[in-house]
Chains A and B, each alone.
Chain A
Amino acid sequence: MHGTIGTMHIMDTTGHSSITWDPEKPVEVGVARDAFEKLIKEGYSAFEVEGADQRGRRVTRFDPSVGKLMMVPQLVGG
């Protein structure tokens, strides 16, 4: 949705960290994009999630118009 503040939740040792951005503010978008790309390089998986029924999909590119992103660390077999 145009103008909606985007949120990226990053799972980490603190429970999670969050980065927000206004799609109309290039600096904020840049910070979020850099964080996204860095985490993807580190092996994180990114998921776009929306709606009360938690619909979602995996994404590999940062889209500033997305409302919510979940960044999940790499899983290993146990």
Chain B
Amino acid sequence: MPLYWANTGTWSSTSADTVYWVPVTTTAYDLWRSQGTTTSSATADAYYYMPQSQQGRAVLAAYSGLGQQQAFRPQSPAVMMDTAERERIEAMREQNAYQRALAQHDEQEAARVARRIAMRGAEAEERRRRVDQQYAERDAARQRANDLLLQHLTPEQRETFVANGWFVVEGGKTKTRYRIRAVESMVANVDVLDNDLFRTDKVLHRLCGHVPTHKVPLGDQLLAQKMMLEFAENDFLRIANRHGP
């Protein structure tokens, strides 16, 4: 598969789980299609959460906006590789350069390339160590948040949360029943339930109000929503956006 090197942006990722971003320009009106996923803004954050490409590589078709948000024209595509493959390709190039230098009896060049190979290996190792550390910290934070949430659920809430990933709380003011669902995106995860006598749990509408997702892990998100609904319900209802059932 040929590589297309569009423009000369400056963003790249050090995380092994994200793609290495072949630099292209991005604007709010660029549309990116890759493996069926589209996003209207190709920022570093948008690509951090993209799923792993198959075989470490994905063709990214780029389209730039024509001034109207629904109309786009094709631009130069870019290829995304994951960090491991990028390192493998670069290591292969360095090895080839080293072999060429040896074949040409250019000891100075061979030594230079050998130093570069060693340095690159050390940098890659350091990157891997940092990534492993980031993941360990993230996992620890998620566990701490989950533990805190479980400590603050009633036995009934804990049971439904563990079994189904949701729990029901009662609004402190209105006594409305709300089902809080554990959804990573936190989009409209609060169901407003019908207070009918038979407890059919019909969803009247959904509410979307949460701590900005980068600030706290999921367990804290859910606990924050629980606290607000139970002890500051009016404030939550004022902040949250309403979505259909």
Contacts and interface: CB of A to CB of B under 8 A. Distances in A.
B237 to A, nearest CB: 10
B231 A58 contact: yes
Nearest to B227: A47
Given A11-B224, A15-B148, A75-B224, A57 B231 contact: yes
B215 A73 contact: yes
B191 to A, nearest CB: 14
Contact of A12 (B153, B216, B232): B216
Interface residues of A, number: 24
A1 interface: no
A73 B211 contact: yes
A31 B160 CA distance: 38
Nearest to B155: A52
A78 B231 contact: no
A56 interface: yes
B187 A72 contact: no
B224 A78 contact: no
A28 to B, nearest CB: 22
Interface stretch (B17-25, B31-39, B136-144): B136-144
Interface of A: 9, 11-16, 45, 47, 49, 52-54, 56-58, 70, 72-78
Given A11-B211, A72-B223, 4 more contacts: A11-B216, A13-B141, A45-B228, A75-B240
